[in-house]
Amino acid sequence: MKNLILVLLLFGFIGTGHSQILLKETKLEYRPESMKLDPVSNTLTIKIAEKNYGEFEKNPLAFVKNGFDIQRVLKDNEKEDYDSYQVSFKSTKGHLLANFDKDGELVSSFQKFKNVRLPEDARMKILQQYRDAVVVGNKHIAVSKGWDIHKEFYKVKLRDGDKTRRVKINKEQGAITLVGL
């Protein structure tokens, strides 16, 4: 009887261990006709279908660098002879607008996301300065030159009782400063 119970417990633990769901990383999925640029605006818009929540919002530039093939866009549009390409990546929480030159190098990018998780140091700074305030919403805005982020800040909307306050958090070279709006 004792052996039967031990065997059943062992099978129970093994069964739950093997039944865990493995999440695969998000891949950008393209259809061949979607790689053609709009002839009027020289832009390509790609909607990000995320299987893992928030992967694109965490680090959009790294996501694009690892999962997007600009050489395929260049190949599909070589007959048009464009000098620059503008590719827009859109998700449910925001977008990234990337500008590429004719060789496929990233020139600049602009990204804007809403209601993303604030960095720990920014949350602590807000808590220190506005103790009773509640974060109602935020926007994360970043501009890059090449693959390096040049300017990055958060716009945070705080509610303290019946007062609403907007705060801008500059994030430059690791230092965080609060600017009241």
Cα 179 → chain centroid? 24
pLDDT the model gives residue 12: 77
DSSP conformational letter for 18: H
Judge contact between 42 and 86, C-beta under 8 A: yes
Task: Write the pLDDT tens digit of every residue in 131-146.
Answer: 888 888 989 999 999 8
SS3 57: helix
Q: What is the rounded CA–CA span in Å between residue 168 and residue 177?
A: 8
- Whole-model pTM: value is 0.69
Average the pLDDT over each of 17-21, 66-70, 85-89, 139-143 and give the range with the smallest value.
Answer: 17-21
- At residue 110, the pLDDT reads 94
Distance between CA atoms of 88 and 68, rounded to whole angstroms?
12
Contact between 181 and 139 under an 8 Å Cβ cutoff? The reply is no
Partners of residue 160 on adjacent β-strands: 163
Domains of the chain: 24-111 (no CATH), 115-181 (3.10.450)
| Contact by Cβ (8 Å): 67, 59 | no
